[in-house]
Chain A
Amino acid sequence: MKILKTQNLVWLLGLIPPVLFLLWWDHQAKQGGTNAHIYVSLAQIVGALRETFSSGELTGAYAASITRAFSGLFIGGILGTTVGALMGLFKPVEWALQPIYNSFRQVPILGWLPLIGLWFGSGDGSKLIIVALSAFYPTVLFTFEGLKQADTSLLDVSRVYRLTPWQSFWKVRWPAALLSIFTGLFQALAFTWISTIGVELLFASGFGLGSLMQSAQLQARLDIVVVCVLFVGLTGILLNTLIRQLSQRLLAWRSVRT
Chain B
Amino acid sequence: MIKLDALFPSPRPRRQAIRAEGGPTGPGEGQVTRKNAPHPSPLPGLGGSQSGERGRLRLILSIGSPVALLLLWQVVTALKLFPPEVLVSPAAVVAAFGEIIASGELQRHLSESLTRLGWGFGFGATFGLAFGVALALSKTVERIFGPTFQALRQVPVLAFIPMLILLLGIDEVFKVVIIAKAAFFPVALAAYDSIKGLPKSHFEVAALYKTPWWVLVGRILIPATLPNILAGARLSLTRAWLVLVAAELIVADSGLGQMMEMGRQMFRLDIVMVGVIVAGVIGFGLDRLFQLIQAHALRWKAA
B144 at the interface (CB under 8 A from A): yes
Which range holds the interface residue count of chain A? 35 or more
Residue in A17, A97, A100 whose beta carbon sits within 8 Å of that of B148 in the complex: A17
A156:B65 contact, CB within 8 angstroms: no
Contact across chains for A108 and B246 when beta carbons are under 8 A apart: yes
Q: Are B264 and A117 within 8 A (Cβ)?
A: yes
In chain A, what residue has the closest Cβ to B257? A111
Q: For residue B107, give the distance in angstroms from its CB to the closest CB of chain A.
A: 19
Would you call B260 and A201 a contact (CB within 8 A)? no
Contacts of B37 in A (CB 8 A): 91
List chain B residues, Cβ under 8 A from A156.
Answer: 6-7, 41, 43
**What is the CA–CA distance of A18 and B166 in the complex, to the nearest angstrom?**
20
Interface positions, chain B 159-176, Cβ under 8 Å from A, are 159-163, 165-167
CB contacts under 8 Å to A, within B121-167, are: 140, 143-148, 151-152, 154-156, 158-163, 165-167
In the complex the two chains form, is B144's CB within 8 Å of A217's CB? no
**Would you call B143 and A108 a contact (CB within 8 A)?**
no
Give, as a whole number of angstroms, the nearest-CB distance from A78 to chain B. 22
List residues of chain B with CB within 8 A of the CB of A103.
Answer: 66, 280, 284
State whether A111 and B276 are in contact (beta carbons under 8 Å apart), knowing that A95-B62, A118-B264 are contacts in the complex.
yes
Q: A13-B143, A89-B38, A222-B166 are in contact. Are A110 and B65 (CB under 8 A)?
A: no
Interface residues on B, range: 35 or more
Contact flags B19-44 to A (C-beta < 8 A → 1, else 0): 00000000000000001111111110
Mask for A29-63, Cβ within 8 A of B = 1, else 0? 00000000011000000000000000000000000
The answer to whether the Cβ of B85 comes within 8 Å of any Cβ in the partner chain is: yes
- Interface of chain B residues 272 through 289 with chain A (CB within 8 A): 272-273, 275-277, 279-281, 283-284, 287
Give the CA-CA distance A235 to B43 in the complex, in Å: 49
Contact partners of B250 in chain A: CB under 8 A: 201-202
Verify if A92 is at the interface (C-beta below 8 Å from B).
yes
How distant is A68 from chain B, measured CB to nearest CB, in Å? Answer: 14
Q: Once the chains are docked, how many angstroms separate the CA of A145 from the CA of B159?
A: 32
A13 and B165 form a contact (CB under 8 A): no
Is there contact, CB below 8 Å, between B279 and A107? yes
Task: Tell me the minimal C-beta distance from A211 to chain B in angstroms.
Answer: 10
List residues of chain B with CB within 8 A of the CB of A131: none
CA distance A98 to B290 in the complex (A): 22
B245 within 8 A of A: yes
Given known A17-B148, A118-B269, contact A10–B6 (CB-CB < 8 A): no
The answer to whether A240 and B154 have CB atoms under 8 Å apart is yes
User: Bound complex: CA of A117 vs CA of B61, how far in Å?
Assistant: 32
Q: Which of B236-255 contact A (CB under 8 A)?
A: 241-242, 245-246, 249-250
Q: Determine whether A113 belongs to the interface, using a CB cutoff of 8 Å to chain B.
A: yes
Instruction: Return B61 CB to nearest CB of chain A, in Å.
Output: 4
B41 touches A165 (CB 8 A): no
Interface membership of A109, Cβ < 8 A: yes
Nearest-neighbour CB distance to chain B for A121, whole angstroms, equals: 11
**CB neighbours of A217 from chain B (8 A):** 162-163, 165-166
Q: Judge if A229 is at the interface, Cβ distance under 8 Å.
A: yes
Query: What is the distance, in angstroms, from B272's C-beta to the closest C-beta of chain A?
Result: 5
Question: Quick one: which of A15, A155, A213 contacts B39, CB cutoff 8 A?
Answer: A155
Contact A225 B143 (CB under 8 A): no
B contact residues around A115 at 8 Å (CB): 260, 264, 269, 272-273, 276
Shortest CB distance A151–B (Å): 10
Assess A232 versus B272: contact at CB under 8 Å? Given A14-B143, A114-B261: no
- With A11-B147, A91-B38, A225-B166 known, 15 other A-B pairs at CB within 8 A are A16-B144, A38-B166, A100-B65, A108-B242, A110-B242, A111-B275, A152-B40, A152-B42, A198-B246, A201-B246, A216-B162, A222-B163, A233-B151, A233-B152, A237-B154
